[in-house]
Amino acid sequence: MNQTDFRDGDVSVKVKPVSGREDRAGGLVFRYRNPGNYYLVRADALENRIILYKVEDGKRVPLASRNSPTSYGVMHPVPANQWSVLKVQFRGPLFSVYFNHRRLFEVMDSTFRQSGKVGLWTKSDSVTYFDDFRVAGK
């Protein structure tokens, strides 16, 4: 999606974490401005956790959910070697995170208000497959 920017929208992907000793994760990037400034939601099969971050000036900071302001993401099974659907819906400062079509949590943040690109993400030694990447911009 190199030529399209979105301020608001829905982004989803089928994700299948296959291997990795340090990390076994995959995620979605949205409102991407440059390599040091964007939002990221990731599903981690080693931690069984779904987390939404902002990456600001190159520093990745977890964003707490509206229901649990001190939490580090949400504990939730992320099966390895199995397809799951990860989705983020973003409207203004409100972000809703879904896993397998079930809303897990919401986050409020207004760091990056402008439009940006969307994409896929992995980290470290993660081997993660992606399929059925969908974008619906608003």
Q: What is the pLDDT of residue 3?
A: 64
Residue 98: band (very low, low, confident or very high) from pLDDT cuts 50, 70, 90? very high
DSSP H helical ranges for the chain: none
Domains and CATH numbers, the chain: 9-137 (2.60.120.560)
Q: What is the pLDDT of residue 60?
A: 95
* Residue 1 reports pLDDT greater than 60: no
State mean pLDDT over 20-33: 96
State mean pLDDT over 28-49: 97
Please state, for a pLDDT cut of 90, what percent of the chain lies above it: 87
Report the sign of the C-alpha dihedral through residues 96, 31, 100, 69, in that order.
negative
